[in-house]
């Protein structure tokens, strides 16, 4: 089975950074149209396949908020913060997830499974 082509492989062939390859493939700012065309052509030539995203938000970006249960129960600040972040993120097509960390998990420094 052939080794999967990585963004780093494309970057090495073109003599540019992996960040530039990522931006070029995603159509983001910071890469000229000429370089973007080279990146896409090289990716196709090398057989690059983007990694499959499971359960990903269609926009691809997300924000996670962790709040200790002890703070969430006592203070409306975090629910208001979550509401504000959610509103701003929706305007940018970014998903938001808030996890409340229970006392046992907080003491043991265990992150929620979603992380």
Q: Would you state the pLDDT for residue 57?
A: 47
What is the model's pTM? 0.47
9 falls in which pLDDT band (50, 70, 90)?
very high
Quick: pLDDT tens for 26-42. 888 888 999 999 999 99
Label each residue of the chain as H, E or C. Answer: CCCCCCHHHHHHHHCCCHHHHHHHHHCCCCCCHHHHHHHHHHHHHHCCCCCCCCCCCCCCCEEEEEEEHHHHHHCCHHHHHHHHHHHHHHHCCCEEEEEEECHHHHHCCCCCCCC
Quick: pLDDT tens for 42-85. 999 999 988 765 454 455 688 888 888 888 766 678 778 888 88
Q: Would you state the pLDDT for residue 49?
A: 87
């Amino acid at each position: 089975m052939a080794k999967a082509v990585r963004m780093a492989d494309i970057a090495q062939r073109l003599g540019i950074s992996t960040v530039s390859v990522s931006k070029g493939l995603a159509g983001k700012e910071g890469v000229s149209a000429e370089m973007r065309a080279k990146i896409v052509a090289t990716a196709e030539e090398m057989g690059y396949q983007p990694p499959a995203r499971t359960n990903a938000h269609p926009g691809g970006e997300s924000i996670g908020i962790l709040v200790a249960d002890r703070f969430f129960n006592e203070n409306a600040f975090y629910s208001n913060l979550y509401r504000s972040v959610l509103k701003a993120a929706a305007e940018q097509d970014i998903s938001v997830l808030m996890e409340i960390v229970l006392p046992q998990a907080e003491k043991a420094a265990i992150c929620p499974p979603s992380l």
